[in-house]
C-alpha cells in the first residue's frame, strides 16, 4: 500500500512546496546584488487595476450587477494582483471563482461571468503562466488540468449553441496550454542556465585548485636547488672537518662528523627522489643554477629587447638576501615584466628592489605605464624569460604563493593612469634568527587574497599606496 501511495504523497509534497514558492529570480541576476524576478510585479498589478475598473463598468452597465459589480470585479482581478508574491495561491483563488462565479451569476444575472470572456480571460491565463513558471513540474501539470476541467464545465451554459460551446471551451483550453508551455519553457531554460553556471563555477574552482598545486610543486622544484646547495655544503664541511682542524680530532668526534656527512648525503638522495615525484612528465631536469638578484639586470635587458623600456634599481646587499628570497624576487619580477610585455606591449616599466625597515624587509615594486596609443605588434612574452625557464607560472597566483611561502605579502592592481603595479614585502629576518628569511605564516595571507590580487597583504598595499604618487 505504501508503494501505491508514494506518487500521491510526492504530488502532495510538490503542491505544498508550490504553495510556498515565490516567482523565481532570473538566471542573469547580478551576483551579490538584488535578485531580479522573472516576472515583474508592477505590470501584473497595473493590469489587475485596469481589469478591475473595466469589469466594474461592464458588469454594472451591461450585466445589471448594480452594487455587486465592484465586488465581483475585485474577486476576478485580485488573484492577478496576488500572483506576483504567491503565484500558486493566486491560482487556487482563480480556480475557486472559476468554479463558483459562473453558475451563481448565470442564475442571478443576464450576463454570467464566463472564463473565456475577453475581459475575464486575461486573469486566469496570466495567473496560470506565473504559477507554472514558479511551481515544480507536477504541481504545474495539476494546475493546468484543474483549469481545463473548470473551463469545460461551463460549456453547458451555452448548450443552445453546441458549436459555440466547443469553440469557446477549445479556445480557452488552447490559451491555458499555451500559457503553461511558455511558463515551463522559461523555467526549464532558467534552470539549465543555472546548472551550466554552477558547473562552470565548479570547473573554475577545480582549475584554480589544480593551478595552485601545480604552482606550489613548481616552486618546490626550484627551491630544491637552493636546499641541495646547503646540504652539499654541510656534507663537504662535515667530511673535511677532521682534516682541517689543527691537531686532529678524537675518534668519537670524527665518527660524529662522519655521521653528519652521511645524514647530509642521505638527505640529498631523498630530495632527488622527491624532486622526481614533483617533476612533470614533460619536464626535464634543470642543471643550470637558479637565478637571483644578480640576474635582474639581464631580465631588464630582455624586457628592453622585447620593446618595453625598463628601468631597474636594486638597493639590497646580496649578503643579506638568502638564495630562496633572491629566487622568489627574480620570479616575481620576471612574471610582472612578462605580463607587461603580454598585456601592455611597448609600455615603460620600473623595477625597484630595496631592503628597508626594522626588522629588515625586502621591498619589490614593478610598475608599468599604459600601453602607447598605437603599439607595434605584440612581442613574444617568452623574450622576457631566460633559457632555463620552461614558461611563466600562473600569474598573480604564483607571485602570491612565492611571497606567502617566505612570510611576505603581495598586492597587485591597476593604477590611475591605466598601468599596473605589483608590490611585494618579504621579511629578511627569520623568526628568532638574524639571518635568512622567515618561512611560514604567509599561507593564510595567500589563501585569503582575491584571485586578482586586490585583497593582498596590508603592508604591501600600504607600500603600493605610498608609491603611487611617484609612479609615472
The pLDDT value given to residue 220: 73
Query: Class assignment of domain 293-468?
Result: alpha beta
Query: Residue ranges of the domains in the chain?
Result: 11-202, 216-278, 293-468
Q: pLDDT tens, 2-22?
A: 445 666 666 666 677 666 677
* DSSP H or E run through 412: strand 409-414
CA neighbor of 141 nearest in space, from 7, 24, 342: 7
Give the pLDDT of residue 388.
42
Is it true that the peptide bond before 359 is cis, omega within 30 degrees of 0? yes
CB 334 within 8 A of CB 372: no
Q: How far apart are CA 381 and CA 343, in angstroms?
A: 9
Grid cell digits, residue 100: 463558483
Contacts of 48 (CB under 8 A, 6+ apart): 77, 78, 80, 81, 123
Enter the C-alpha cell of residue 150.
473548470
Residue in this structure with the C-alpha cell 605610498, named with its chain if needed: 466
pTM of the model: 0.55
Whole-angstrom distance, CA of residue 422 vs CA of residue 414 = 9
Query: What mean pLDDT do residues 171-197 have?
Result: 89
pLDDT higher than threshold 50 for residue 451: no
**Residue 150 in contact with residue 121, Cβ under 8 Å?**
no
What is the Cα gyration radius of the chain? 38
Number of neighbouring beta carbons within 10 Å of residue 456: 29
Sign of the torsion angle spanned by Cα atoms 41, 45, 46, 48: positive
The answer, yes or no, to whether residue 366 has pLDDT greater than 90, is yes
Give strand pairing partners of 314.
353
Residue 104 has pLDDT above 60, yes or no: yes
Average pLDDT of 45-68?
Answer: 86
Segment among 125-129, 271-275, 314-318 with least mean pLDDT: 271-275
Amino acid at each position: 500500500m505504501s508503494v501505491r501511495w508514494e506518487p500521491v504523497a510526492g504530488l502532495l509534497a510538490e503542491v505544498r512546496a508550490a504553495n510556498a514558492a515565490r516567482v523565481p529570480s532570473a538566471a542573469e541576476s547580478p551576483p551579490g546584488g538584488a535578485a531580479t524576478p522573472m516576472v515583474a510585479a508592477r505590470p501584473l498589478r497595473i493590469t489587475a487595476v485596469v481589469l478591475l475598473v473595466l469589469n466594474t463598468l461592464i458588469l454594472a452597465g451591461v450585466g445589471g450587477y448594480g452594487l455587486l459589480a465592484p465586488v465581483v470585479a475585485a474577486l476576478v482581478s485580485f488573484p492577478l494582483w496576488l500572483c506576483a508574491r504567491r503565484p500558486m495561491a493566486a491560482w487556487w483563488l482563480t480556480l475557486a471563482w472559476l468554479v463558483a462565479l459562473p453558475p451563481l451569476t448565470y442564475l442571478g444575472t443576464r450576463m454570467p461571468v464566463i472564463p473565456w470572456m475577453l475581459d475575464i480571460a486575461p486573469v486566469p491565463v496570466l495567473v496560470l503562466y506565473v504559477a507554472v513558471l514558479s511551481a515544480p513540474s507536477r504541481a504545474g501539470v495539476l494546475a493546468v488540468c484543474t483549469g481545463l476541467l473548470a473551463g469545460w464545465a461551463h460549456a453547458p451554459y451555452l448548450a443552445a449553441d453546441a458549436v459555440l460551446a466547443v469553440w469557446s471551451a477549445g479556445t480557452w483550453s488552447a490559451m491555458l496550454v499555451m500559457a503553461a508551455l511558455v511558463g515551463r519553457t522559461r523555467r526549464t531554460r532558467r534552470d539549465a542556465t543555472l546548472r551550466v553556471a554552477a558547473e562552470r563555477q565548479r570547473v573554475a574552482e577545480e582549475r584554480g585548485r589544480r593551478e595552485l598545486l601545480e604552482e606550489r610543486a613548481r616552486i618546490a622544484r626550484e627551491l630544491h636547488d637552493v636546499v641541495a646547495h646547503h646540504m652539499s655544503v654541510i656534507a663537504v664541511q662535515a667530511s673535511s672537518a677532521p682534516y682541517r682542524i689543527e691537531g686532529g680530532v678524537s675518534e668519537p668526534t670524527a665518527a660524529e662528523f662522519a655521521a653528519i656527512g652521511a645524514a647530509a648525503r642521505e638527505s640529498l638522495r631523498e630530495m632527488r627522489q622527491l624532486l622526481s615525484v614533483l617533476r612533470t612528465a614533460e619536464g626535464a631536469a634543470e642543471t643550470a643554477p637558479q637565478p637571483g638578484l644578480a640576474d635582474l639586470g639581464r631580465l631588464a635587458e630582455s624586457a628592453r629587447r622585447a620593446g618595453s623600456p625598463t628601468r631597474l634599481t636594486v638597493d639590497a646587499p646580496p649578503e643579506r638576501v638568502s638564495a630562496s628570497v633572491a629566487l622568489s624576487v627574480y620570479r616575481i619580477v620576471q612574471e610582472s615584466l612578462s605580463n607587461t610585455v603580454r598585456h601592455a606591449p611597448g609600455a615603460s616599466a620600473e623595477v625597484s628592489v630595496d631592503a628597508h625597515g626594522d626588522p629588515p624587509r625586502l621591498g619589490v615594486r614593478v610598475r608599468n605605464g599604459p600601453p602607447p596609443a598605437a603599439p607595434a605588434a605584440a612581442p613574444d612574452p617568452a623574450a622576457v624569460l631566460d633559457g632555463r625557464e620552461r614558461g611563466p607560472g600562473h600569474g598573480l597566483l604564483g607571485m602570491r604563493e612565492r611571497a606567502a611561502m617566505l612570510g611576505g605579502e603581495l598586492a597587485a592592481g591597476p593604477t590611475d593612469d591605466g598601468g599596473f603595479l605589483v608590490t611585494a614585502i618579504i621579511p629578511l629576518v627569520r623568526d628568532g634568527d638574524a639571518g635568512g628569511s622567515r618561512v611560514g605564516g604567509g599561507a593564510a595571507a595567500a589563501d585569503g587574497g582575491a584571485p586578482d590580487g586586490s585583497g593582498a597583504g596590508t603592508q604591501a598595499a600600504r607600500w603600493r599606496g605610498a608609491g603611487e604618487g611617484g609612479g609615472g
